[in-house]
Amino acid sequence: MTFSDGAFWVFAATAVLPAAGILLSRSIVRMAFLLLVSLAGFAGLYLQLGAGFLGFTQVLVYIGGILILFLFGLMLTARFDVHVRRRVGAGVIVPGVIAGLSLLGVLVFLALESPWSTEAGAAAAAAGAGDTFQIGLKVLGPYVLPFEAVTVLLLVAMVGATYIGRAQMPGTPAEGERKE
Amino acid sequence: MNGLFTILDAPAAPAIGWDDLGGILPVLVLLATGSLALVLDLFLKEEASPPVPAGKWPLSFVSLLGTAVAGALLCGHIGAAGKPWSGFLGAVQVDLFSDAIGLIVVLGAAFCLLGAGDALRRRGIEQGEFHALVLYAAASMVLFVQSASLVMVFLSLEALSMAVYILTAFQRDEKRAVEGGLKYFVLGGLSSGFLLLGLAFIYGATRSTNLTDIAGALAGGQPPADSSLLVAGLGLTLIGLAFKVGAFPFHAWVPDAYEGAMSVVTGFMAVAVKAASFGVLLRVAVLFGGAGASGPGSPEARGALLAGISGLAVVTMIFGNLAALAQSSAKRMLAYSAIAHTGYLLVGAVSAMEARPGGEQAAGAGLLFYLFPYALMSLGAFICLSHLGEGAEDRESIDSLRGLAERHPAHALALLVIMVSFAGIPPTAGFWGKLFIFREAIATGHWELALVGILTSIVSVYYYLRLVVAMYMLPQEGGLPAPSLEARIGGKLALAIAAIAVVLVGLFPGIFFQISAACALR
C-alpha cells in the first residue's frame, strides 16, 4: 500500500463513517458536527484527485456553511436539546432498505463497469494548482451565462429569505402577540 | 503570467458580444422588470384604509408591461421564423420550440399577475416581492427551455424552483401555505439531487456538458464510452424531471403544494413550471432517444427512455384521474387533474420520440398544441377560484360553488366552458388537444397509450361535470357570502380572456396546430 492509498482510505473513512453517524444520531448538534467532519473527508478526496480548487471550495463553502448553520441556527436560538424523533416501523424500514440496496447496487455496478476516463484527471493532477486558473478562464468564457444564472438563483433565494423571514407584516399582529 | 497572455492573445478564442445579449432579450426584460418591481415597491405608500380598490396598481402595471414586452419579443421571433441560434459559446440555444414554450410561460406569468392584484390585496400582502418572484421565475423558465448545456439546465431549474417554492409559501401567515411550500421545497430538493446525479452521469458517459456536442457525437455513430452509465444518467434525469412535472409516482408534493398556494400561484405553477419542464424533457428525450437523432450511438438509451416515459404516462393518467374522482375540494380536484394532464402530455412526448427528423411529423407538435389550451384552462380555472374568494380564503370546495350560476352567471359560464374543455368534449380546445395527442400516438404505433388516455378521459368527464352540476343545478347552501366582484377588474379580465381564447382555439384548431407544428423540434 502506497502512501497515496493510505491517504485515500483515511479520507474515505472520514467521509463515510460520520455520514453513518448522522443517520444513527438523535441529537441535531451532533448531526451538524458529524456533517462537518464528513464534508472535510470529501474535501480531502477532491484534493487527492488533483482538484485543488474544488477541495478548497468545499472547505470554504460547505464546511464554512455548516459552521455558520451551527453557530446561527443552533447556538443563537439556544435549542441544544433538539432531538429528532424517529418513527421506525417495518413500513419504513423494508422499503427503505430495498430502495437503498438497489441504489447501492446500481452505483457499484456503474463504478465497476464504466471505463472511467483518467486522462483529464491525470492532466489536472499534473497541472497542480493550475486548475484554478483554468476555471477562472472558463467562468468568464463558455460558462459566463451559467455563472450569471447562479446570481439569479442567489437573488431569488435572498428576496425569498428576507420576505419569509421578516418578523412582521404591516397589518398583521406582531410576532410576540401571535405566540401568546 | 506568460500563460495568461498567450491565452488572451489567442485569435481563435470566440468572444461574447451584444448578439449574445440580444438573443436572450426576453429573459433580460423579465429579469429587469422583476428588479424594477422590487424597487418600485419601496416608493409606493402603504394605504391606510385597507379596501382601496386600486391598491398598488403601478406594481401590477409595470410587471404586466414587462410580460407584454417579453411576449411580444417571443411572438416576433416566432413570426419571423428565426433560425436556431446558439449563443454564449454554446450555453443557450434559441429556436422556435423554446420561443413557443417561453410564450406559454410568459402567458402564465401575465395571467398570474393579472389575477394576483386582488388576491394579494384581500390578504394584505400586496408586496413587490410577489411580482418580482413571478417575473424571476418566468425568466428562469425561459432560460431553462433555452438551455443547451447541462450546467444551464441544472442552474436555471434551481432558480425557477426556488422562486416557485417561495411563491407557494407567499401567504406566510397561513399554515397550509407554509406547509405546502416546505413540502415542495424538501421534495424538490430531493428531486434536484436525482437530476444532478443524472446530469453528472451523462457528462461522465459522453465527456461533454454541451447538448449540441453530445447530439453530434451520438449522431456521428460515435457510441458513448459506456451505455450503462448513459442509461443510468438518463434514468435519474428522467426521475428529476418527472418530479417537476408531477408525474406519478413522483407526484407526492403536487396536491399539498397546489392546495396550499394561493390559487393564482397554483395556476402559474400548473402551467409555467409544467410547460418549461416538458420543454426540457422533450428536448432530452428526442436528443437521446429520438428515432433518428441518436442513430446507432445509443439504442439502449432510446429503449430505456421510451419504456420509462411510456410507463410513467400510463400510471400517471390512471392515477391522476382516479384520485381526482374522490376529491371534495375543487382546488384539490384540479391538482389531481393537473397530474392526469401530465400523463397526456407524456403520451405526446412518447410520440415525439418516434418522429423522424426531416420527416412529415414534427416532433412534439401535438404536445405543444396541447400545452396552449391546457395553459388557458388551468389559468382560467385557478384564477376563477381566486377571483370568487373572500378575504384570505379562495373559493375552494365544490360545495361552495353551488348556485353560482344564479349569483354570477357570467363567471359560471366561463367556468363551464373551461370545465367542458378540460373534459375534452367536442368541439372545445381540450378536445382538439387530446385528439391530436392520441392521433399522434396511434400513428406512431403506441395505440395502447392512446387507449388508456381515451378511457381515463371518459372517467374524467365525471369529476369535471360535478363542478358544473354544483354551479348550475344545486341550490346554494349557506357557505361563503357572495363577495362583491365589482372592483376585481384583473381577475375578471383574466377569466374572460381565458374562456374566450378556449372557445376560439376550439373553433379554429387548424391555425393553432399549424403554429405548433412550425414551432416543433426539428
pLDDT tens digits for range B254-290:
989 998 889 999 999 999 999 999 999 998 888 888 7
Lowest mean pLDDT among B43-57, B133-147, B498-512: B43-57
Contact: B228, A113; criterion CB under 8 Å: yes
CA distance B508 to B385: 28
| Residue range of the domain that includes B488 | 23-44+53-519
Q: Provide the pLDDT for residue B398.
A: 81
Tell me the C-alpha to C-alpha distance, in Å, between residue B406 and each of B62, B382, B470, B473: 36, 21, 11, 10
Nearest CA in chain B to A170: B124
Q: Is residue B341 part of a domain?
A: yes
CB–CB of A110 and B232 under 8 A? yes
Q: Is residue B10 part of a domain?
A: no
Return the residue in B21, B38, B162 with the most chain A beta carbons within 10 A, the one to mutate for interface testing. B162
b/e sequence B227-247, b meaning 16+ C-beta within 10 Å = bbbbbbbbbbbbbbbbbbbbb
- How far B294 CA lies from chain A's nearest CA (Å)? 20
**Across the interface, which of A106, A143, A152 has its CB nearest the CB of B159?**
A152
Is B162 close to A153, i.e. CB distance below 8 A? yes
Query: What's the mean pLDDT in B291-300?
Result: 61
In chain A, the domains with their CATH numbers are 1-84 (1.20.120.1200), 128-166 (no CATH)
Name residue, grid cell 429587469.
B32
* Whether residue B230 has pLDDT greater than 60: yes
Nearest residue of A to residue B154, measured between CA atoms: A146
Question: Are A160 and B163 inside 8 Å of each other by CB?
Answer: yes
- Taking 90 as the threshold, does the pLDDT of residue B28 lie above it? yes
A157 at the B interface (CB within 8 A)? Answer: yes
Are B127 and B394 in contact by the 8 Å Cβ rule? The answer is no
B189-203 residue pLDDT tens? 999 999 999 999 888
Contact status, residue B184 vs residue B162, Cβ threshold 8 Å: no
What does the pLDDT read at residue B5? 47
Whether B435 is in a domain gets the answer yes
A171 to chain B, minimum CA–CA distance in Å?
A: 7
Interface test with B, best of A113, A134, A145, A151 (most B CBs within 10 A): A145
Residues of B in contact with A164 (CB under 8 A): 166, 169, 172
Q: Which residues contact B355 (CB under 8 A, 6 or more apart)?
A: B286, B290, B291, B361, B362, B363, B364, B444
- Percentage of chain B surpassing pLDDT 70? 89
Answer yes or no: is pLDDT of A142 > 90: no
Mean pLDDT of B420-439: 88
| Among chain A residues, CA nearest to B228 | A110
B173 contacts A159? CB cut-off 8 A? no
Q: Total structural domains in chain B?
A: 1
User: In this predicted structure, what is the pLDDT of residue B2?
Assistant: 47
Sequence-distant (≥ 6) Cβ neighbours of residue B224 within 8 angstroms: B205, B206, B217, B218, B230, B297, B298
Among chain A residues, the shortest Cα distance to B194 is held by A103
Q: Which residue of A has its CA nearest to B133?
A: A156
For residue A175, count CB atoms less than 10 angstroms from its CB and return exposed for 0-12, middle for 13-18, buried for 19 or more. exposed
Tell me how close the Cα of B226 comes to any Cα of chain A, in angstroms.
Answer: 6
User: What is the rounded CA–CA span in Å between residue B95 and residue B99?
Assistant: 6
Q: Does A144 touch chain B (CB under 8 A)?
A: yes
More confident residue, A34 or A114: A34
Per-residue pLDDT tens digits for A120-133: 656 655 655 567 78
Which sign does the torsion angle of CA B427, B428, B432, B438 carry? negative
Record the cell numbers describing residue B505, joined without a space: 382555439
**Which of B19, B27, B36, B166 has the most A C-beta neighbours within 10 Å, making it the best mutation to test the interface with A?**
B166
Kindly report, residue by residue over B94-146, the tens digit of the pLDDT: 888 899 999 999 999 999 999 888 888 888 888 888 999 999 999 999 999 99
Would the CB atoms of B127 and A159 count as touching at under 8 Å? no
Cell numbers at B342, concatenated: 401530465
What pLDDT is stored for residue B240 in this prediction?
93
Q: DSSP of chain A, one letter per residue?
A: --HHHHHHHHHHHHHHHHHHHHHH--BHHHHHHHHHHHHHHHHHHHHHTT-HHHHHHIIIIIIHHHHHIIIIIIITTT-TT-B------HHHHHHHHHHHHHHHHHHHHHHHHS----HHHHHHHHHGGGHHHHHHHHHTTTTHHHHHHHHHHHHHHHHHHHHHH-S--TTS--HHHHH-
| B1 in a structural domain | no
Residues of B within 8 A of A172 (CB-CB) are 124, 173
- Residue type for position B272: A
* Domain annotation covers residue B6: no
CB contact under 8 A, B166 and A160: yes
ipTM for this prediction: 0.86
Give A-chain residues touching B205 at CB under 8 angstroms: 114
Report the range out of A90-104, A145-159, B47-61 with the highest average pLDDT. Answer: A145-159
Note whether B156 contacts A149, CB cutoff 8 Å.
yes
For residue B10, the model assigns a pLDDT of: 47
Nearest by CB to A146, from B46, B155, B172: name it: B155
Is the CB of A149 inside 8 Å of chain B's CB atoms?
yes
Q: How far is B130 from chain A (nearest CA, A)?
A: 9
Beta bridge partners of B363: B521
Please tell me the predicted confidence (pLDDT) of residue A180. 33
For testing contact with chain A, the best of B40, B89, B145 (most A CBs within 10 A): B89
Q: Do A171 and B31 touch (CB under 8 A)?
A: no
Contact call for B91 and A141, based on CB within 8 A: no
What is the pLDDT at residue B238?
Answer: 93
Domain assignment present for B312: yes
CB pair distance less than 8 Å for B7 and A137: yes
Residue of B41, B136, B210, B300 best to disrupt the A interface, most CBs of A under 10 A: B136
Instruction: Tell me the chain B residues in contact with residue A135 when contact means C-beta distances shorter than 8 Å.
Output: none
Classify residue B352: in a domain, yes or no: yes
Cβ pair B390, B483 in contact under 8 A: yes
Which residues are CB-neighbours of B245 under 8 A, at least 6 positions away? Answer: B273, B274, B277, B278, B281, B342, B345, B346
Fill in the amino acid letter for B347. Answer: V
* Res B404 pLDDT > 50: yes
Q: What is the DSSP string of B111-124?
A: HHHHHHHHHHHHHT
User: Which positions in chain B touch A109 (Cβ < 8 Å)?
Assistant: 228
Say if the Cβ atoms of B133 and A152 lie within 8 Å. Answer: no
CA distance linking residue B334 with residue B47, whole number of Å: 35
Q: Which residue has the higher pLDDT, B450 or A168?
A: B450
Reduced to 3 DSSP states, what percent helix, strand and coil does chain B have, rounded to the nearest 5?
75, 5, 25
Contacts B50 to A, Cβ<8 Å: 171
